[in-house]
Amino acid sequence: MSKYKLFLLRHGEGAWNKENRFCSWVDQKLSEDGVKEAQDCGRLLKEQGYKFDLVFTSILSRSIQTAWLVLEAMGQEWVPVVKSWRLNERHYGSLIGLNRAEMAVQHGDEKVKLWRRSYDITPPPIDESHPYFLEIYNDRRYTTCDVSKENLPRAESLKEVLDRLLPYWDSTVVPEIRNGRTVLISAHGNSCRALLKHLEGISDEDIVSVTLPTGIPVLLELDENLRPVKPRQLLGDQAKIQAAIKKVEDQGKAKPST
Ligand SMILES: O=C(O)[C@@H](COP(=O)(O)O)OP(=O)(O)O
């Protein structure tokens, strides 16, 4: 029997998702399509009768904007939104800003897939010479974190995302769920994958084939130990969801399959 419902959401399409560039800790806003995806997501959740008590987001605008649009479409704008860098997207290090398909031409599809989807491979770190270094590390939001700026990551594997996310999950999110609050986590492809790996006990090998499309809510039904009682449900039109997953997978290919 399911005791709790938890919703995970990768934000709506961001400007750099559209341009097929690794966005990561660069603070891009939603694209026009991304705004629509977030609104459609909110409408779907409303139609299905879901009600949230609390929303968690990263400190990146695309996840916050998505949360607001979802709540607005549901008529639940009053629901508190709590933000933490620990839900940020994976730090893609020196890959930030690069085009995935161009990287696949240079390094091959397999290498790009390893960088994007493997569990414990950390991409090369970002350094001061990187064009987006100052934009990220001089941003005031990173003075508000519970670790000093010097100790914030310079690149992360999915494992390292889980390592920084889990203390927050355990200390801040879990108590709310256990208190009976229905929680939405509006975050990112890889911060949601890391959490799914933890909750569903997905192996290091199998996590490679888990891909989340933008703007599609993932419903997890959990027992009293916060273990899923059934497979995750991606809500919405299943054919469209499969096509969206394939589109995300194809972003890392030199020549997308047809
Ligand atoms: O950093 C990014 O560009 C994407 C993930 O990229 P991939 O892991 O899919 O390459 O994160 P998100 O759009 O969820 O914030």
The ipTM (two decimal places) reads 0.96
| pLDDT at 1 (0 to 100) | 78
For residues 94 and 72, give the distance between their C-alpha atoms in angstroms, rounded to a whole number: 36
Structural domain for 106, as ranges: 4-250
Find the helix or strand (DSSP H, E) in which 131 lies: none
Q: Pairing relation of β-strands 233-234 and 217-222?
A: antiparallel
Number of domains in the chain: 1
In a domain? residue 256:
no
- Ligand 1 centroid–CA 24 distance in Å is 6
Q: Is 12 annotated as a binding residue?
A: yes
- Mapped onto helix, strand or coil, the DSSP state of residue 247 is helix
Is 82:54 a contact under the CB 8 Å cutoff?
yes
Six-digit token pair at 225?
């130990």
Give CA 196 to chain center in angstroms: 11
Matching residue, tokens 């059934």 = 230
Is 34:250 a contact under the CB 8 Å cutoff?
no
Find the helix or strand (DSSP H, E) in which 9 lies: strand 4-10
In a domain? residue 257:
no
For residues 50 and 28, give the distance between their C-alpha atoms in angstroms, rounded to a whole number: 29
In a domain? residue 14:
yes
- Ligand 1 centroid–CA 100 distance in Å is 10
Residue 11 among the catalytic residues: yes
Q: CA distances (Å), 133 to each of 70, 123, 129, in order? A: 31, 15, 7
Which residues does residue 14 pair with via DSSP β-bridges, in sequence order? Answer: 30
Residue 245's domain is classified under what CATH number? 3.40.50.1240
**Candidates 21, 190, 193: which one to mutate for ligand 1, based on the most atoms within 8 Å of Cβ?**
190
Q: Which of 32, 77, 89, 200 is catalytic?
A: 89
Residues with C-beta less than 6 Å from any ligand 1 atom = 10, 14, 17, 22-24, 89, 92, 116, 188-190, 248
| pLDDT at 258 (0 to 100) | 59
In a domain? residue 258:
no
Is 157:174 a contact under the CB 8 Å cutoff?
no
Is 79:56 a contact under the CB 8 Å cutoff?
no
Residue spans of the chain under pLDDT 70:
257-258
In a domain? residue 255:
no
